[in-house]
Amino acid sequence: MWSIRRRLLSMIMEASKDTYPKEFGALLKAENHVIYELAILPGTINGDNHTIMWMYSKPIDFTVVGSIHSHPSGVIIPSEEDLHMFSNSGPIHIIVGKPFTLSNFKAFNREGKEIKIEII
């Protein structure tokens, strides 16, 4: 089972509020299924309905396990574009939604199926 540090999730929510109404996006770093840090890629573009991360600038780092991004609309359902990215980049992906509180997020696997994640 996956877990995420409460302090990191709080920081993600604050970054999502700061980026609003645009999306926020980053990569997730984990060890032993505990997500503990973000990797923000240089050149990331935060748009109204998208986040573009230049994966060519992704560091060779085996602690990167997936992605995080916000949905300013508050709808926490993966889009077709999200599902495409999920299938190509790690086993866990998190979407956070407005109003960006600790209860407004969901985690998904590569196929876009919702999975349980614990806040620690």
Catalytically annotated residues: 23
Q: Is 66:90 a contact under the CB 8 Å cutoff?
A: yes
Q: Is 83:101 a contact under the CB 8 Å cutoff?
A: no
Distances (CA, A) of 56 to 21, 53, 59, 102: 26, 9, 8, 31
Largest separation between any pair of C-alpha atoms in the chain: 34
- Which ranges of 1-120 does DSSP label H, i.e. alpha helix? 6-19, 80-88
